[in-house]
Structure 1
């Protein structure tokens, strides 16, 4: 039956194509991840037209004999030094068109492109114990990382506890914050703090090494703004002028009530002082004051990142699903 499906590279994004892509993704996620809101059409358009930081994107669409989109695949090719070996896959097939070879043909196109681009590692995320995991295992992807996804519903938090944590004294440290691009006088300090993320537990993912500098942190903010999202940052500054830690929240374009937690990091030399919980509690207070339409925040942590999991649970996050990351070693496949 897959012989009647056409796999076509997408070279130009149109309104019709974006709508078709969104319909496939929404149907796929409703089936595989019930309760998880899919990206809206505007987010899909930004994803297809605005490359993520340090990468470029290739895309394919599978259509049936009537020209209806039944599957999509997106390939992120990392271009940052230290990650040129890496590619990341997103693949969706409409539930009513599965088990007909459509996903396999999309994957074949992706793997061929990876080989052309001299990539040795292809990673993909899938809901734990779901159809995506079974598909990945069937094609000899190896599980390399398990992520716990947590959600924090702001109206259900203990507001007195949040206030106490946000107002707690941390001698030698002070909080500062901004929206969008980091102020020039903090750009180098933020880059240094971001490099502290390189010791974050990543399982067996062949992720490579990312080196942050002032230009890269500015570019990251431009990428977020370019797709219409809003980046909020709070940072803890030490009296010696260094940035001891920071936390980031992204508000999706439009009126989505759910925000996304990006990085939270505390520099190794400043750990053990409760800065992570302080930063996160202060961010909750900022969200409630500046963005009252935000009802929830989602985050994810590697299951072996026990410290950050403990911080998030103490703050009020609760686990609600799991995903696993799988990796295909293209050097031996």
Structure 2
């Protein structure tokens, strides 16, 4: 017997159980990838998200052992309040026993109650268990991402020395300064034209307050946010962001890189990313690599990353389940405790 129970306030024991399941799940699917630390998982479960809230469930078998977990992120900002994002893990020892289906059914029902029309989730590797699970439950593949790794010691950062007349570089850690907050928000809106395939992703409207809120979310998790930007006459022409998760000792994560449309074609994306490589070497010498992901049709950013020395690492897919939008509509996935 499996019991699916919601989690309202995450206890230390529940966080530890969640971590155990996630690490076991990822070790089975991505054996060469570093798993999250207990601190990182606890921060993810307990820290408030940006313009979103989370619903959490544990799947427990008779005797109390946690064998599966699911988290549903419900976006709340205009432009994305139709959207929910699912994270679901089942311990490898209990897969193909209905645990994942029960968790999914519970999450889908909750998303319908919240009147979401689209449910997104990610699956790693072609032909893996995540791909098969999504296909069996009515998801459709909407985007393919290439994950790349950069060995910082071997990165080609020569572009950091390239002259860009009229432009200057600046950088900060954590929250942007007040004098740059509005310019940074305007630049972040350039991310709304990033390739999203057939995903019903919507759009995000960035303001100075929202960029400050994003930095606070990361700080509350204990993460380090590094930003380098290109400025011209008070306007932010482009920027790149790197996040080093709390407790991380080796790998940094690439967040946004964007160039404002009016400033494209001048090599600014390569410039700011090369400068970031040098900054990491100087300020965080223990960080050995950067992980990034790009949509396969984002040819420009893929070319920039290849120029720096990023190499192919793995591939993942984004899946979407379309939910009914009519009152009283019901998806094909119904919770077992209702069926």
> TM-score, length-normalised on structure 2?
0.94
Match of 1:320 among 305, 313, 321: 313
State the match for 2:123 in structure 1: 126
Q: Distance in 1 between the 2:203 and 2:269 partners? A: 23
1:261 to 238, 244, 254: 254
Candidates 148, 151, 154, aligned match of 2:152: 154
Distance 1:178 1:213 in 2: 18
Kindly report the root-mean-square deviation, in angstroms, between the aligned alpha carbons of the 2 structures: 0.9
Residue 27 (structure 2) aligns with: 30
2:84 to 80, 87, 91: 87
Deviation of 1:128 (Å)? 2.6
Q: Deviations over 1:121-166 (max 9, x none)?
A: 0000001321011100100101000000001111233xxx41x211
Name the CA distance, whole Å, in 2 between partners of 1:125 and 1:204. Answer: 14
How far apart are residue 256 of structure 1 and its match? 2.6
User: In the aligned structure 2, how far is the partner of 1:10 from the partner of 1:52?
Assistant: 16
Residue in structure 1 matching 2:139, options 138, 141, 145: 141
Task: Map 1:68-83 to 2 at 5 A.
Answer: 68-83=65-80
Aligned partners of 2:56 and 2:72 also within 8 Å = yes
1:294 corresponds to 2:294: no
SS in 2 for 1:176: strand
- The aligned counterpart of 2:182 is 188
Aligned to 1:252: 245
Q: Give how far 1:66 is off.
A: 1.5
Do structure 1's residue 201 and structure 2's residue 204 form an aligned pair? Answer: no
Helix, strand or coil: the match of 2:204? coil
Distance 1:11 1:304 in 2: 40
Query: How far apart, in 1, do the equivalents of 2:302 and 2:214 lie?
Result: 25
CA distance in 1, matches of 2:38, 2:62: 24
Question: What SS does the corresponding residue of 1:36 show, helix, strand or coil?
Answer: coil
Q: For residues 15 and 203 of structure 2, what CA distance do their matches in structure 1 show?
A: 33
Equivalent pairs counted in the alignment come to: 325
After superposition, give the CA deviation of every residue in 1:17-60 in whole Å (9 maximum; x if it has no partner).
11110000000000011211111100100111013211000000
Cross-structure match for 1:168: 162
2-side partners of 1:58 and 1:184: how far apart?
34
Contact persistence 2:27–2:33 (CA under 8 A) = yes
* Structure 1 residue 255: Cα displacement: 3.6
Q: Counterpart in 1 of 2:264?
A: 271
User: 1:97 maps to what in 2?
Assistant: 94
Aligned equivalent of 1:47, options 44, 47, 51: 44
**2:197 aligned counterpart, secondary structure:** coil
Could you say what secondary structure the match of 1:124 adopts?
strand
**Conservation of the 8 A alpha-carbon contact between 2:112 and 2:324:** no
